[in-house]
Structure 1
Amino acid sequence: MPNDSYHALIKQPQGDAPLVFAFHGTGGDENQFFGLAQDLLPGAGVVSPRGDVSEMGAARFFRRTGEGVYDMADLARATDKLASYVEGFRAQHPGRPLYGFGYSNGANILASVMIARPDLFDRVGLLHPLIPWQPAPAPGLKGRQVLITAGHNDPICPWPMTERLADWTRAQGGLLATSYHDGGHEIRREELGALVEFLRSAPHPATAA
């Protein structure tokens, strides 16, 4: 699929720096995390696409019929489309590490891609994800680095679902890091600190080339 399948802001990587994909939350757009991604990992390339679904004017990456109630057919469509989009960039940057992070709806579509295609990203940061189904086993996630952040009192992403996703990730052999706080759906400073550490850390021995 051509890389113009999403409207996006794109910055090319310097040297052998990673390529980082940033996925906004509901109502955000390609600008929400484009600058942040550059600050988090200077020198990295950045791809920040805008979701192709509008919910009463708010951009999203897939449709839903209610809070936490997904249109599963549209989620499947969006997952396939985004996976093909990422593959296009991987083909343009062979051998370069690919990282991704997303918040809320952006975390949800990234998690869906991770579940379906665990081979695509070397590192995945999920900020306040909500996965209201039990994923099938994904043995390809073994050795992949995953960060999950959340609030214990998040009214949008209930804590038990966060725990369930974390447990599932560990069961697949993913190298899981977490950052939890007692707040709600907001991104707190400690989460950003965890994301910085996650993106900048040296590759784990299990994933090093």
Structure 2
Amino acid sequence: MIELSHIHRFQAGRGSHAPLLLLHGTGGDETDLLPLGEMVAPGAALLSPRGRVLENGMPRFFRRLAEGVFDEADVRLRAGELQAFVAEAREAYGLPAPVALGFSNGANIAAALMLLHPGTVSGAVLIRPMVPLREPPTADLAGVPVLVLSGAMDPIMPAGEGERLARQLETAGARVLHRTVPAGHGLTQMDAAAARDFLASLARPTAA
């Protein structure tokens, strides 16, 4: 494995899917979402970094001050570090801009990455995200495809949080599909199926 700024796993791809940037939830690591990536985008290259922040020994992508209260200065810092990692990895592995696939904390840093560093990813699947920046910068996400998957019975997310993030991204110009599935905070087969369909639509060639 090539040494880069983040501990990571990389699996080379084949076929028409864009590479996936896999971003785990709190307490996960660089191996957590590899099976999901293989399931939802068969043949895609998979780039999976480990979050560099530890909370009680559990890896995360940025600090939080309390449950649901983010350290927004750290969000901005870590999003910049992740942007630099993606640039390193693209050069090292010869990749086009990846599509982010993030769960929970990983979905939050993916959203921050798009808003703070447009162009780093070419699209995103955000599973159980929250709004990472209450006052995001003006970003140009014109036409960037995004799927937001909220859980109807999610005990962690404030009501309407997924919708608020979807509106933020739409205001920046992204093409956002927001779905609420009958689930809690955890990953489900419904999430996998929705992500697979969404990513397959991106891989399909468009008519001239």
- Normalised TM-score (structure 2): 0.89
- Report the equivalent of 1:10: 10
What is the root-mean-square deviation of aligned Cα atoms in Å? 2.4
Is the contact made by 1:3 and 1:89 (CA closer than 8 Å) also made in structure 2?
no
- Displacement of 1:91 in angstroms is 3.2
Residues 1-209 of structure 1 aligned to structure 2 (within 5 Å): 4-14=4-14, 17-92=17-92, 96-131=96-131, 133-138=134-139, 140-202=140-202
* Cα contact 1:153–1:159 (8 A) shared by 2: no
Q: Tell me: CA distance 1:205–1:43, structure 2 relative to 1, closer, same or farther (3 Å).
A: closer
Quick one: distance in 1 between partners of 2:93 and 2:7?
20
Task: Tell me by how many angstroms 1:92 deviates.
Answer: 4.3
Structure 1 residues 10 and 203: CA distance shift in structure 2, 3 A: closer
Q: Tell me, what secondary structure is at the counterpart of 2:149?
A: strand
**Count of residues in Structure 1 that have an aligned counterpart in Structure 2:** 206
Identity fraction in percent: 35
| SS of residue in 2 equivalent to 1:156 | coil
Q: CA deviation at 1:190?
A: 1.8
Deviation, 1:173, is 2.1
C-alpha deviations, 1:49-107, integer Å up to 9, x for none? 11111111111111111011112222122111000111122334667352111000000
Look up the equivalent residue of 2:199 and give its one-letter code.
L
Contiguous gaps of at least 5 residues in structure 2: none
In terms of mean alpha carbon deviation, does 89-98 or 173-182 score higher?
Answer: 89-98
Structure 2 CA distance, aligned partners of 1:145 and 1:204? 13
Any gaps of 5 or more consecutive residues in structure 1?
A: none
**What amino acid sits opposite 1:135 in the alignment?**
P
Structure-1 separation of matches of 2:5 and 2:182: 38
Distance across 2 between alignment mates of 1:172 and 1:203: 23
Deviating runs (4+, > 4 A) in structure 1?
Answer: 92-95, 203-206
Distance 1:6 1:97 in 2: 17
